[in-house]
């Protein structure tokens, strides 16, 4: 009887990770988890991370880098652990910083911009795919510079503050 009560108490505690997010956010995390769980076994492991990086165009990820990522989890990374890890990472973070970090994944050289063609390809082929019309609207609102670069820092500022920086 004691183990059942202990388990019940733990589950009934106020720290339920699913209460940290609304349903649409949980669904988005589930989609991200599903994309990363390349072998569809319900867990994200080193091979899944390597395949995910490869799908994003980053091929030669060091084993040590993947091991460091896996070590951040308290154990095997199923969806609940994945959600908990994101909850802990996002707690107290600035939405602007979160969005900037998402763009930085595509800015390997840390220049503050990404090639518009590359961003378009990623947005139209990964996760919640953009349509051609949505891309047109995006580039109308945030046109690339003459060299074809998208200034994502300014874009993020507008998204989070509603106006362009001077």
d(CA 50, CA 9): 38
Q: Considering Cα of 146, then 147, then 150, then 151, what sign does the dihedral take?
A: negative
98-117 confidence digits (pLDDT tens):
888 888 888 888 898 999 99
pLDDT bucket at 82, cuts 50 / 70 / 90: very high
d(CA 134, CA 124): 9
For residue 101, give every residue at least 6 positions away whose Cβ sits within 8 Å of its Cβ, in sequence order, or none.
none
d(CA 78, CA 80): 6
Give the tokens for residue 2.
């004691």
For residue 148, give every residue at least 6 positions away whose Cβ sits within 8 Å of its Cβ, in sequence order, or none.
115, 116, 117
pLDDT bucket at 92, cuts 50 / 70 / 90: low
Over 90: is that where the pLDDT of 8 sits? no
pLDDT bucket at 165, cuts 50 / 70 / 90: low
120-162 confidence digits (pLDDT tens):
998 898 877 899 999 998 898 889 999 999 999 888 888 777 7
pLDDT bucket at 80, cuts 50 / 70 / 90: very high
Quote the pLDDT of residue 166: 56
Quote the pLDDT of residue 76: 95
């Amino acid at each position: 009887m004691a183990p059942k009560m202990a388990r019940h108490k733990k589950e009934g505690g106020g720290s339920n990770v699913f209460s940290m997010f609304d349903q649409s956010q949980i669904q988005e995390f589930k989609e991200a988890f599903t994309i990363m769980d390349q072998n569809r076994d319900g867990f994200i492991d080193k091979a899944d991370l390597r395949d995910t990086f490869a799908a994003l165009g980053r091929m030669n990820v060091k084993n040590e880098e993947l091991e460091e990522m896996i070590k951040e989890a308290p154990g095997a990374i199923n969806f609940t652990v994945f959600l908990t890890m994101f909850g802990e990472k996002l707690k107290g973070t600035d939405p602007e910083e979160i969005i900037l970090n998402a763009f930085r994944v595509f800015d390997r050289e840390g220049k503050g911009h990404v090639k518009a063609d590359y961003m378009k390809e990623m947005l139209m082929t990964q996760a919640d795919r953009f349509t051609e019309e949505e891309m047109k609207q995006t580039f109308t609102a945030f046109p690339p510079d003459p060299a074809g670069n998208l200034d994502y820092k300014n874009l993020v500022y507008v998204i989070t503050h509603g106006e362009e920086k001077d």
